[in-house]
């Protein structure tokens, strides 16, 4: 390509832009280059990104690199925010079939030019939440011109401070269908291209990631911009608990007075560590053993690359169960806050001593049906994800209910669907067409999740000024479930609670009272249906709350925390608003 003296100008402009980072400036770097599969274009770089304009008319049957036919005057481009990497790929032959006659004249006889690739992120037209890889190959006969473009684009990308540089990656090789290692090998080139350094640990046993996170000091963690889990919800729960167990210090969850009294000698401990007076909320300071690692810490984020059986957290935070989408959102430095529930087990069994044990959950805590399914499924891990269907069918046919006491901290915004005792045939309706709840679904840049988020107050547990005291229940339940997020998955496309939010400081407590098996089947079928309404049954109670307590009337009980077993006869739970941040953008639709 003839430069006509523009090469030196381009180099000077590129160096100036590289030094200034084009931050706060409106300078433009431009030159004529060859765009692979298109032809000669005028390429320009400014604060918004790359743009190019065709300088020659394409034949009527030709299209650009995205498959879109364009006229000579039509411009195209890509935003800087959608570029995740750029790399120089040396010289190579340009297929002459991709060039019209005017462009061929600008090249040497052997049609060899130096090239560089701009790697971008595009949205799938079929699945708007899914990100796909886009590449744009530019060429020039002068190697220095190509290298200048690579340098100046990289300089611009370096100004994107939210993008990670160093990550600690845990790979669960047996997660889901046992494809954790393969999943990482598929997406690892994305991290390499984006120049994100990764320290990869392939776990060798259950609890391996927990032990590593627990043993890692804060000084060591400061070397990383975040931690990435290649696996499922249970694997992420393991990493989360290893991280928080030594760094998150907070008062125990609030509890009604009768719950404290039932704890016996430990009642005084709970009284000293939490505010149990109804209507005043729960207070206290959330801190770590290192004052330089306060939580939440927005610059330190967690990422999840889905390789599990359900991947509910990924689906709710990205909108797609796709490893490439998750990897791209990680390297682009996307950020979304996430509520975390702190679960305190006071007694393991009815006869055991009071020994507080703290665990954390990011998506769900369930008892009864949910605990039985996870317990039964452990016997069939060799089946992979299908074990949940098999175990769920067995537990459903068994149709066991459990006696328990539950207390919920009421708030003004609470929405409840109370159950009515008896008269099941008269009161049962699959759906209520009237008085349905107005659902506000959590999306990217959700106003509910970002409203009233005072950064200075985020070191404290979330407090609701509208707390109205405790509401207690006692009876037989098929299941007790606390959904911190919507919990969307392949078996429940809208989740357990369609309008649950990622960071509003609430969880949704769902109590399924004992009922005939056919009625419970109706509830489960609504969960499995898109646009279903599983909460509109007479035997379903739904409470939007920031805290609850639980006490089993049996000898022992098994809970499901993010897909992990947790035995607890007596427990209390509270939500910490936006306690951690994820490399995710939130679902677009």
> By the 8 A CB rule, do 251 and 270 touch?
no
The sign of the CA dihedral 416, 422, 428, 433 is negative
User: Could you tell me if 533 and 389 lie in one domain?
Assistant: yes
* Strand partners of residue 407: 472, 549
Q: How many CB atoms lie within 10 A of CB 71?
A: 8
HEC profile for 35-104? ECCCEEEEEEECCCEEEEEECCCCCCCCCCCCCCCCCCCCEEEEEHHHEEEEEEEEEEECCHHHCCHHHH
- Domain span holding position 235: 162-250+285-334
Does residue 368 lie in a domain region? yes
Q: CA–CA separation, 315 vs 323, rounded Å?
A: 11
How many domains is the chain built from?
3
pLDDT band at 428 (very low <50, low <70, confident <90, very high): very low
User: Could you tell me if 346 and 233 lie in one domain?
Assistant: no
User: Could you tell me if 413 and 392 lie in one domain?
Assistant: yes
Q: CA–CA separation, 442 vs 499, rounded Å?
A: 6
Residue 575, pLDDT > 70, answer yes
Predicted pLDDT of residue 29? 86
Cα-Cα end-to-end distance for the chain: 45
Reduce the DSSP state of residue 541 to 3 states and report it. Answer: strand
> By the 8 A CB rule, do 109 and 142 touch?
no
Q: pLDDT tens-digit profile of 128-169?
A: 899 999 999 999 989 999 999 999 999 999 999 999 999 999
Tokens for 115, please give them: 């090239």
Predicted pLDDT of residue 589? 76
Nearest residue to 185 (alpha-carbon basis) of 166, 198, 167: 198
User: Could you tell me if 521 and 417 lie in one domain?
Assistant: yes
Does residue 187 lie in a domain region? yes
Does residue 255 lie in a domain region? no
Classify the phi-psi angles of 22: left when phi > 0, otherwise alpha if psi is within -120 to 50, otherwise beta.
left
Residue pointed to by tokens 């060798």: 204
Predicted pLDDT of residue 380? 82
User: Could you tell me if 117 and 228 lie in one domain?
Assistant: no
What are the DSSP E strand ranges found in 183-232? Answer: 197-202, 226-231
Catalytic (active-site) positions: 233
Does residue 269 lie in a domain region? no
Q: CA–CA separation, 132 vs 124, rounded Å?
A: 6
Tokens for 469, please give them: 């005291």
Query: Can you say how many angstroms the Cα of residue 20 is from the centroid of all Cα atoms in its chain?
Result: 34
Nearest residue to 44 (alpha-carbon basis) of 17, 70, 20: 17
Reduce the DSSP state of residue 557 to 3 states and report it. Answer: coil
Domain boundary among 158, 183, 217: 158
Find the range with the poorest average confidence among 115-129, 224-238, 460-474: 460-474
User: Could you tell me if 290 and 427 lie in one domain?
Assistant: no
pTM of the model: 0.85
Nearest residue to 246 (alpha-carbon basis) of 211, 289, 284, 209: 289
Q: pLDDT tens-digit profile of 238-281?
A: 999 999 998 998 877 767 888 888 887 565 555 555 443 333 33
Q: pLDDT tens-digit profile of 375-401?
A: 888 888 878 788 888 888 999 999 999
Nearest residue to 170 (alpha-carbon basis) of 116, 216, 117, 108: 216
Does residue 279 lie in a domain region? no
Domain boundary among 127, 158, 189: 158
The CATH code of the domain that includes 208 is 3.40.50.10330
Predicted pLDDT of residue 64? 45
* Element (DSSP H or E) covering residue 341: strand 336-347
Q: How many CB atoms lie within 10 A of CB 417?
A: 18
Higher pLDDT among residues 2 and 32, named by residue: 32
The CATH code of the domain that includes 347 is 2.60.200.40
User: Could you tell me if 330 and 479 lie in one domain?
Assistant: no
| Strand order from edge to edge, sheet including 83-93 | 75-79, 49-54, 39-45, 29-35, 131-140, 112-123, 83-93
Domain boundary among 318, 334, 350: 334
Q: pLDDT tens-digit profile of 523-559?
A: 999 999 999 999 999 999 999 999 999 999 987 799 9
Q: pLDDT tens-digit profile of 438-490?
A: 688 999 999 999 886 654 344 445 445 555 689 999 999 999 999 999 999 98
Predicted pLDDT of residue 234? 93
User: Could you tell me if 317 and 345 lie in one domain?
Assistant: no
Does residue 583 lie in a domain region? no
pLDDT band at 99 (very low <50, low <70, confident <90, very high): low
Does residue 17 lie in a domain region? yes
User: Could you tell me if 90 and 237 lie in one domain?
Assistant: no
User: Could you tell me if 388 and 312 lie in one domain?
Assistant: no
Residue 189, pLDDT > 50, answer yes
User: Could you tell me if 291 and 417 lie in one domain?
Assistant: no
Classify the phi-psi angles of 176: left when phi > 0, otherwise alpha if psi is within -120 to 50, otherwise beta.
left
Does residue 344 lie in a domain region? yes
Reduce the DSSP state of residue 50 to 3 states and report it. Answer: strand
Predicted pLDDT of residue 320? 94
The CATH code of the domain that includes 57 is 2.30.29.30
Find the range with the poorest average confidence among 79-93, 342-356, 391-405: 79-93
User: Could you tell me if 308 and 169 lie in one domain?
Assistant: yes
Q: What is the Rg, in whole angstroms, of the alpha carbon atoms belonging to the chain?
A: 28
């Amino acid at each position: 390509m003839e430069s006509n003296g523009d090469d030196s100008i381009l180099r000077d402009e590129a160096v100036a832009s590289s030094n200034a980072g084009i931050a706060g400036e409106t300078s433009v770097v431009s030159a004529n280059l060859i765009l692979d599969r298109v032809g000669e274009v005028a390429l320009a770089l400014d604060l918004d990104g790359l743009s190019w304009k065709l300088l020659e008319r394409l034949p009527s049957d030709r299209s650009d690199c995205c498959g879109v036919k364009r006229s000579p005057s039509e411009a195209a481009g890509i935003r800087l925010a959608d570029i995740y990497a750029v790399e120089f790929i040396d010289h190579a032959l340009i297929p002459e079939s991709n060039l019209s006659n005017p462009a061929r004249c600008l090249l040497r006889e052997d049609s060899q030019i130096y090239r560089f690739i701009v790697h971008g992120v595009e949205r799938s037209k079929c699945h708007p939440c899914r990100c796909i890889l886009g590449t744009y190959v530019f060429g020039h006969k002068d190697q220095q011109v190509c290298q200048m473009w690579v340098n100046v684009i990289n300089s611009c990308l370096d100004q994107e401070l939210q993008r990670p540089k160093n990550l600690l990656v845990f790979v669960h090789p047996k997660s889901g269908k046992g494809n954790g290692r393969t999943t990482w090998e598929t997406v690892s080139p994305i991290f390499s291209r984006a120049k994100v350094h990764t320290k990869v640990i392939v776990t060798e046993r259950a609890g391996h990631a927990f032990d590593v996170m627990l043993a890692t000091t804060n000084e060591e963690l400061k070397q990383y911009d975040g931690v990435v889990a290649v696996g499922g919800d249970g694997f992420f729960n393991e990493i989360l608990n290893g991280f928080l167990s030594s760094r998150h210090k907070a008062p125990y969850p609030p509890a009604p007075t009768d719950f404290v009294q039932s704890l016996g000698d430990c009642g005084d401990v709970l009284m000293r560590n939490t505010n149990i007076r109804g209507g005043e909320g729960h207070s206290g300071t959330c801190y770590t053993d290192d004052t330089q690692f306060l939580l939440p810490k927005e610059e330190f984020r967690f990422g999840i690359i889905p390789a599990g059986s359900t991947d509910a957290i990924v689906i709710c935070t990205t909108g797609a169960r796709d490893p490439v989408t998750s990897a791209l959102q990680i390297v682009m430095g996307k950020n979304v806050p996430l509520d975390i529930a702190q679960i305190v087990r006071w007694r393991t069994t009815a006869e055991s001593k009071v020994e507080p044990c703290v665990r954390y959950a990011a998506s769900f805590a369930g008892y009864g049906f949910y605990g039985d399914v996870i317990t039964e499924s452990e016997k069939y891990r060799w089946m992979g994800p299908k074990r949940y269907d098999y175990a769920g069918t067995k537990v459903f046919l068994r149709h066991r209910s459990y006696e328990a006491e539950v207390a919920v901290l009421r708030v003004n915004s609470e929405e409840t669907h109370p159950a009515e005792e008896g008269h099941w045939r008269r009161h049962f309706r699959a759906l209520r067409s009237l008085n349905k709840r107005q659902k506000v679904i959590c999306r990217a840049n959700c106003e509910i999740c970002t409203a009233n988020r005072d950064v200075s107050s985020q070191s404290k547990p979330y407090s609701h000024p509208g707390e109205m005291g405790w509401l207690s229940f006692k009876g037989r339940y098929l299941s007790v479930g606390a959904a911190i997020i919507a919990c969307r998955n392949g078996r429940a496309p809208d989740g357990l609670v369609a309008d649950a939010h990622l960071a509003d400081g609430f969880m949704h407590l769902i109590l399924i009272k004992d009922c005939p098996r056919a009625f419970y089947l109706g509830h489960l079928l609504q969960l499995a249906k898109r646009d279903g309404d599983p909460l509109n049954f007479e035997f379903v109670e739904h409470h939007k709350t920031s805290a609850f307590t639980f006490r089993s009337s049996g000898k022992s009980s098994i809970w499901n925390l993010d897909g992990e077993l947790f035995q607890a006869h007596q427990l209390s739970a509270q939500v910490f608003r936006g306690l951690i941040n994820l490399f995710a953008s939130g679902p677009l639709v």
